[in-house]
Amino acid sequence: MIPEIKAYEEKMTKTINVLTNEYASIRAGRANPAILDRIMVDYYGTPTRINQLASISVSEARILVIQPYDKSVLKAIEKAIQASDLGINPSKDGAVVRVPFPQLTEERRKELCKSIRKQGEDAKVAIRSIRRDANDKLKAMKKNSEITEDDQKAAEQKVQKMTDRFCEEIDKISANKEKEIMEV
């Protein structure tokens, strides 16, 4: 068949991966080390991820413990977490930084669910955009007589099935994250 379809499938898979990473950074009331993945710390003039500077562990259900490999970076880690948009307040405790996660209010949970739905819809829009690009490419190939009309139709159906599959996967991922937020 047409080898380009594989490239479009890879793009759709990347969209799903991006969405999953975004969802991992949404705080669900439980301590989750993935929440800190996006936070960058100024380490000797170089922005560096926290998980590269320290070991992160969950000591209790709602408390993350960050133990830096280099003790001199303790204050920088604390500042980076405070400056982030996570709404959590870390505290230094000797050689570690403790990050307590407060219980989510009902209102905050609903806001998070709205945000989850919006991110899910944005991912579906990205998937559909990839489908449109694939179909445009197929039409151009047909116009240039590189493929037959039957091949074009078959490939478009394949792209549509792929799009439907990825949109269903986005719906499942979003529903699971909403459920996780509302159950905490």
- Residues 6+ positions from 11 with CB-CB distance below 8 Å: 130
Q: What is the pLDDT of residue 84?
A: 80
Do residues 122 and 96 share a domain?
Answer: no
Quote the DSSP letter at residue 145: T
Quote the DSSP letter at residue 27: -
Quote the DSSP letter at residue 26: S
Alpha helices in the chain (DSSP H): 4-24, 50-53, 74-83, 106-143, 149-183
Do residues 110 and 179 share a domain?
Answer: yes
Q: What is the pLDDT of residue 107?
A: 84
Here the tokens at position 50 are 């926290």
pTM for the full predicted model: 0.69
Do residues 17 and 78 share a domain?
Answer: no
CATH number assigned to the domain comprising residue 17: 1.10.132.20
Q: What is the pLDDT of residue 101?
A: 78
Using 50 as the pLDDT threshold, list the residues of the chain that sit under it: 1
β-strands 63-68, 91-93 pairing: unpaired
- Tally the domains of the chain: 2
pLDDT digits (tens, 9 = 90+) for 58-101: 887 778 898 988 888 888 888 888 888 777 788 888 888 888 87
Rounded Cα distance, 14 and 160, in Å: 17
